[in-house]
Chain A
Amino acid sequence: MPITHPQDHHPLPLQSQLQTDLALDIKNLSFAYPDGRDALKHVTIAIKPGERVALVGPNGAGKSTLLLHLNGILQGEGQIRVGGLTVEKKNLPVIRAMVGLVFQNPDDQLFSPTVFEDVAFGPLHMGLDEDEVRTRVEEALTMVGMTSYAARLSYHLSMGEKKRIAIATVLSMHPQILALDEPSAGLDPRARRQLINLLQTLPQTQIIATHDMMLVREMCSRMIVMDEGRIIADDATSALFERVELLEAHGLERPDC
């Protein structure tokens, strides 16, 4: 039985059509939740292609809320441009393929019965044809080293496996930016190490919201400190780690040794 695909999908814009000097350009972004609570206040961030940036700050600082803005799930006031494309309603299908959002809890991200279907979800909804979808699933599972898991049920996987599958579900969409929410939370040391090694092999621009300062020091040359919806500091990781009093004022710790 033939499968109908959406006809209204937008082809990805060619690289040459985009200003690629900035992978992500956020200007003066503010957002308040429906209950009136301010979650983001005048956030401005510019990230170059290939950069790996840590987003740190206490719980409730607005890190996850910011990530949800990157592909237009939440829309606040201000301007966001992803690879030169403004995040607005008509661009959303393209933007969602460009920004791969990896949620904190993989049980939220892996909603299909089998691993294969979850990894295929993104490419299918981009309107790609069947062969291309299969190729991408295979490729994404190879990248995270989980090819033999395609037919498995997500429920039966370990936390580390789920996290890697969750990353595969966005890699299959060929994103230019990976936005990861607490990627190392809930992992045992070995699974955490595997995850860090995996992220380091990926060429995409990465924005990592995390409390794992060891991971920040190891992976991210740049660090953005957020608190109460504001950007407190945005500098080289090594420079910010010297400012112990600033870190402590915002509930953070410098990793020892």
Chain B
Amino acid sequence: MPVQPFDRYQEGAGFLHRLDPRVKVVLTALGILSNVLIPDGAWSAFLLTFALILYLTHLAKLPWGFVLKRSLIILPFTLTAFSVIFITPGTTLTVFRLGPWSFSATHAGVIRFLSILARGLLSVQMAILLTATTSFADLLHAFRHLRLPRALVGTLAFTYRYLDVLGDEAVRLMRARQARSARLPGVSVRQGVRWRGKVTGAMVGQLFLRSLERGERVYYAMLARGYRGHIYTLNPHAMTADDWVFAWVGGLSLLAIQLLARLDLLLTP
């Protein structure tokens, strides 16, 4: 049985785990905004942000390399920004020739590319920190109480609840197919890609129908308990002094990073 393989929550008792999820969600969003707003080449600001993330990792009692390792998954995506090296105007560093074409890498282009890389990595690290220290149920609560659209939060909640139920169903279907994929000795079976495709297609259809029927039963179960179009939740969290302090300190740190970034650029023309 898969045990929530997509859930990135790390059970723990660090300071970050105890914080109100609303504070964490808002600060993560602001943090990502701050990363985006750091101008190209403001290395001190990028470094300071990274130091902040490392410090939070420490507060969360997670291993030092934790966010760094996990954030590497976005590297392939940042490569899509590779072209900025060649299309940003500026002093030419080197020229690559490829058949009839030539590409000139510019100084400004390289700086822009590295900055995009840094923004991507830092932002993903922030998100990783959030999901590692906040359980999914808490995240949903935070979203609801931050007035995110109900339909969106509801969809997320049901996806989380039923993804594994659906996964189990898919595994059972696959086992049933394997159990009947017999072959007699000496008989060659000609089952081409088309046939396999047909079987797989039928299975996907089955899964879809089963989900549809389950959705209907879940809806009945909700109606039976008084559902009339709105989902209400209790807030199991209350803002403590710690939460407010962290919110202010976090917010001011991000502001400081922005100021530093501007100063950095002013001083090194």
Contacts and interface: CB of A to CB of B under 8 A. Distances in A.
A230 B140 CA distance: 46
Interface residues of A, number: 39
A153 B161 CA distance: 9
10 contacts: A1-B235, A3-B232, A111-B158, A112-B161, A113-B161, A116-B236, A117-B234, A124-B234, A153-B4, A173-B226
Interface in B105-162: 136-137, 140, 145, 157-158, 160-162
A93 B161 contact: no
Interface stretch (A46-54, A77-85, A95-103): A95-103
Main secondary structure of the interface of A (DSSP, over half): helix
A155 interface: yes
A170 B220 CA distance: 14
Contact of B226 (A93, A103, A133): A93
Given A108-B214, A124-B233, A113 B157 contact: yes
Given A73-B224, A103-B217, A124-B233, A114 B165 contact: no
Which of B137, B221, B225, B235: most chain A CB closer than 10 A? B225
B232 A113 contact: no
A3 B224 contact: no
Nearest to B217: A108
Contacts of B164: 155
4 shortest interchain CB distances as A-B pairs: A125-B226, A122-B225, A113-B137, A108-B217
B85 to A, nearest CB: 44
Contacts of A73: 220, 223-224
Contacts of B137: 113-114, 117, 153
A173 B225 contact: yes
A96 B224 contact: yes
Which of A1, A99, A155, A170: most chain B CB closer than 10 A? A155
Nearest to A4: B232
A112 B136 CA distance: 11
Given A68-B220, A112-B157, 13 more contacts: A93-B228, A108-B214, A109-B221, A111-B158, A113-B160, A114-B137, A122-B226, A125-B227, A125-B232, A133-B234, A155-B4, A155-B164, A155-B165
Interface string B232-262: 1111100000000000000000000000000
Contacts of A124: 232-234
Contacts of B4: 153, 155
B87 interface: no
A214 B162 CA distance: 33
Contacts of B209: none
Contacts of B217: 103, 105, 108
Contacts of B228: 6, 93, 125
B218 A108 contact: yes
A257 B121 CA distance: 70
B74 interface: no
A38 interface: no
B190 interface: no
Nearest to B139: A113
Interface in B148-196: 157-158, 160-162, 164-165
B169 to A, nearest CB: 10
B224 A101 contact: yes
A139 to B, nearest CB: 15
Nearest to B215: A108
B198 interface: no
Contacts of A156: 3
Which of B3, B136, B160, B220: most chain A CB closer than 10 A? B220
Contacts of B224: 71, 73, 96, 99, 101, 103, 170
A103 B225 CA distance: 11
Interface string A160-171: 000000000110
Contacts of B234: 3, 117, 120, 124, 130, 133-134
Contact of B221 (A1, A111, A113, A154): A111
B230 interface: yes
Contacts of A107: 165, 214
Nearest to A120: B234
A111 B233 contact: no
Nearest to B157: A113
Interface in A52-86: 68, 71, 73
A103 B235 CA distance: 27
Which of A5, A93, A101, A154: most chain B CB closer than 10 A? A101
Contacts of A133: 234
B222 interface: yes
A126 interface: yes
A5 B164 CA distance: 31
A31 interface: no
